[in-house]
Structure 1
Amino acid sequence: MSEHHPLDLPEDHPFGPHTLPYGVFSTADEPTRRRIGVRYGDHVLDLDALAATSGSPHADLLAAPTLNPLLAAGREIWQAVRDAVRTAVTDPAQRATTESLLLPLNAVTLHLPFEVADYVDFYASEHHATNVGRIFRPNADALTPNWKHLPIGYHGRAGTVVVSGTPVVRPSGQRKAPADTAPTFGPSLRLDIEAEVGFVVGTPSALGEPVGLAGFRDHVFGVCLVNDWSARDIQAWEYVPLGPFLGKSFATSVSAWITPLDALDHARTAPPARDVPVLPYLDDSDAEPGGIDLRIQVDINGETVARPPFSAMYWTAAQQLTHMTVNGASLRTGDLYASGTVSGPEPDQLGCLLELTQGKGPFLEDGDEVTLTAWAPGPEGSRIGLGEVTGRITPARTS
């Protein structure tokens, strides 16, 4: 790629004209001014400036300091803005203007791209659930009786969702090993990762009105990688009988870039065959393929430790959204829900250290840096990249 022509990208670049993920950035000369941008190659296209220059009817949405107004605008606007951005980076007549609005990625600061309303985490990988069940319940069925009848999930803590690059402080809490006579308090000794995929809700729904499978595209704006950090020792002691709490709520890292759902159309795939019939509201047998062929890579301190395939997930994002609202719970703009740990059937496809080490460790040490990356097949042999998620573990705070 020519240094003087940042719009000229290799055909297989994961952040080319078929990807165009949205983020929020600031610059060194205006550190308090947050702007919406789109990643193109190794640059950020300033959408606020582009909209103003082109006289876009959506300029007010794109002048906001977060993505939330755009998220709330709905699918028709999402598509119109995306079409305009694609034209800006591909139309030779707009080349000079567009290039003047590009900023080097390494010259900007990236921020949490949207205000998180609610956060829900699911448990949708049969491989992960089976592996964890065998570790925690070696003398019982690996899967709980309800697992293949509904997407299991829990409500997390929206206030501790952080953008990629934010340091992760080792949490402290109660922990009790099976051989201990009483619990102790201190820093987690079994700090883990969870490689997940998140879905960002745009259009809200009314309280009391469930969202069916067909409503997925109307309500979900985009996709991002998620690392749902987990303190396994704190989690194991607290989770009976109500489930995850302090072992999860200290930090959840998300990408700085939200990839539009439409960018992944060519990666749609059928989910794995299901051997237990589901109730009608979850039956997607006549719907568009609900799986997504995302190839995730997990690196710890620069070494690849796993490549989990998102296509292996038993429950789809559409089914999760439907189940999440079937009782009448409403959606809000900025809701984030995550898939749960992504794991495949092979030993190098496991999305957490608990599985990779069969519960024995080692787990994360202070100073360890974890990076998640992913891509999906796009049109014309292209690759659709998802923005990375990186976090470095810092020591527990004693006061």
Structure 2
Amino acid sequence: MPLKLVKRSGRDAWYLRGTVAGVSVFESTGTSDREIAEALRIKTESRLEHEAVHGKKSTATFDEAMESYKDTGAPMRFILDVRKTDGHASGLAVYFRGRKLKDIRQEDLDAAAKEMYPGASRETLVRQVYTPFIAIWNHAAKKQWADVRVWERPRKARGTNVTQIRSSRSGTNPVSYDRAASFISVMSPAPAMLMAFLFYTGMRPIEAFALLAEDVNLEKRWLVVRSSKTGEPRGVPIHDFLAEWLPDLVERGGHLFRGPRGEPYAAIQDGGGGLKTAINGARKRSSIKDVSPYTGRHTVSTQLVINGIHPHIKDQILGHAADSMSRHYTHVPQQPLIEAINTLPVPAGLRALPWVSDPKVWWGKLAEGTGKRTDLQKKKA
């Protein structure tokens, strides 16, 4: 039967109810205005009839794909950013609002990058436009809302000896593992565990924040990232050093990493995430200013190259490889990757930290000078 407008007891808004082309509908119009609700009824009925004849690909919009992608728990940074001060919205969701997926072409994506970030570097455009857009598109393609398509990212210019001199930001360069150990050693145990994990997996911080205990197989030295930045799941090898102290965290269940008070780490849109306070404190205590959550990823990448690991293996560990074969074996431990990750060095000072031998005793304690608590404060002679 066609859609009808109905009222629910105790509700002001009109509801759509009925069946169109075999699809049952019972949803709110979000408005109590009869005229607006009727317009929405006609529009919804027409869309469902069109989809029945031509398929979802003919009507799916970027907005629908973005919302569905968001429901998977994927990060929304650069896709939809809402300024806290005045509510101003920006990002891909705003630029492509209302656009049907079937109408978006490569030139539209290129135009979006130029308009949203004029004069930005290639790296910025890839990170803030192309990668999140392609992740949403791949998600839509898996739902058969869009055709599988190869999107081109900006390429690095060849044949030039011009060097761009840019200010260096913490987290954009690797550090030595001894320096990383010195930084981690002054952190409270809970964030220290997370930082150590990043330095021995090369995972993106936001991936580690969302990691669940059930995704970790210590026996097989393998874990699974359910939804990565690219929108695809991937497998990650576990370093033997991590396997020494992760069992307690896995046994605890739920989110693998939590703050000293037991809350899962949260991703914050303007950067830093739940580790921001811990990082700032460690910088003050250690005087090391060039370490941030993303430093672990750059350090793993660089150290694997120094260790002579094949580029294809390195890229698979870091989640750069996107071929169908690597995606197919997401849950299958791959011995070459496990052997490669175990070439990363473990400084003696890092292995000697007290929480390594007994995480559950230490994960709720705080470092010296942290807030009002002094659980780790050294006893004065």
TM-score, length basis structure 1: 0.23
Instruction: Determine which structure has the larger strand proportion and give its number.
Output: 1
Instruction: Determine which structure has the larger helix proportion and give its number.
Output: 2
TM-score, length basis structure 2: 0.23
